[in-house]
Amino acid sequence: MLILTCPNCGITAEETEFHAGGEAHLTRHGPGASDDDFEKYLFMRENPKGVHFERWRHVYGCGKWFHAARDTMTLEIFGTYTAQTSTIPQDIIDKISDRRPDWQPPETA
């Protein structure tokens, strides 16, 4: 069971009040992109055992989207942050680094 805090309304609730929206920080290759880039955007996803970044929606609450950083193995939530960013905020990176000293931030767009 995941306990998430929505940064849009401040509610902390368990995951059934939310809806998972898949991997975060994808680069959206559009018209004119190469077939390889377009395939990567449409189909290729990370499936890590450990630190992962996801989009979530507070579907039964305020209705807004946000980002979450969590560990797929321990279900630890490192933090949630605004959906209005394509990069991972430094304070989230710092929190993860505190907990997982060997972890390296991914390259995001």
Partner 1 sequence: MSEPISALNGAVYNQGIAEVTALDPIGMISIRGDLAAGYLKKPLKKITGVAMPDMRGINLDGGTGVAWMSPDELLLICPYADVATNLETLHKAIGTNHALAVNVSDARAVFRVTGKHTREVLAKLAPVDTSPEAFTPGTIRRTRLAQVPAAFWMVDTDTAELVCFRSVAQYVFDLLKTAAQPGSQVNYHRG
Contact 7, 81 (CB under 8 A): yes
Pick out residues in 13-52 that bind partner 1 (CB under 8 A): 13-14, 16-17
CB of 96 to partner 1, least distance (A): 26
CB of 79 to partner 1, least distance (A): 19
Contact 27, 82 (CB under 8 A): no
Rule CB under 8 A: is residue 82 a binding residue for partner 1? no
Q: Which stretch binds partner 1 (CB under 8 A): 2-10, 26-34, 47-55, 88-96?
A: 2-10
| Residue closer to partner 1, measured from CB, 61 or 89 | 61
Nearest to 4 by CA among 109, 14, 67, 19: 14
Question: What is d(CA 24, CA 56) in angstroms, rounded to the nearest whole number?
Answer: 9
Rule CB under 5 A: is residue 6 a binding residue for Zn ion? yes
Neighbours of 88 (CB within 10 A): 19
- Residues found near partner 1 in the complex (CB under 8 A): 8-11, 13-14, 16-17, 60-64
